Structure 1
Amino acid sequence: MRNIFELDATGSKMSGNSCNQIQQVRRIKPTRRSVSGVMPFRGAGGVPFESLLERDFLKRMRFSHRVFSVVAQPCQIDFIDTSGRDQIYTPDYLVYFHQRNVSASQFIRPMLVEVKPA
């Protein structure tokens, strides 16, 4: 499991290991049951989505001036459920924010996001 909390001040690189950037840990595959695809994102290629809600979330992030980048399926979190079985949880996205010209008190930490209906 990757430690996503070892990010540098820009939120784009990991320190203390051989990884240069956090990358997708689970590949999103085409499906017949729901809408999936890739949303173009600020010249950094595309960010995959696997539902209309995720697509709409990416649209909102794409038009926010505070958002620097979005990584799909960024990490896996191992846990034990209430019945004692090992489980793996994969958040939908990791959102990085621009940190230009901000003081330490205004620093916005990267945010793990799970997209769910209201």
Structure 2
Amino acid sequence: MGTWSGEPFGNDTAADFAWELDGQKRWSVVRGALRTALRSKDPLDMDTACVAIAAAEVVAHGLGRPTQSDVYTESVEEFVCRARRPSGRLVTAAERAVAAASAPGSELADGWMDDHEQEWRAANARLLVALRGE
């Protein structure tokens, strides 16, 4: 997986997920990504965790509280303009998915144990604050 930052859309897997939003008008793609992460009985694999965090960022955008706004989130912004505001249940699922994706033992969390771990953890913390509206 190519990675260029610790932000939610700072890797190839998350960027690919953003393209899945093209033409969508409902939250079903985002909901599906969050469900996949939350239904996993094992620690999350790297791709599932990357997509879960990206999906949570889409929810934050839907709430008007994005933590990343750049060229990598343009399709997210376009999706949010077409979709309604996310439900409270979707926001809760997003919070839980970020926690699962960044939990010790997840492949993604283990993969960040290097120079950029603090950047990644700080980005996840900002995302959780945005989702909670704090």
TM-score range, shorter chain: under 0.3
Would you tell me which structure has more helix in proportion to its own residues? 2
TM-score (norm 2): 0.24
Higher relative contact order (CA 8 A, sep 6+): 2
TM-score (norm 1): 0.26
Would you tell me which structure has more strand in proportion to its own residues? 1
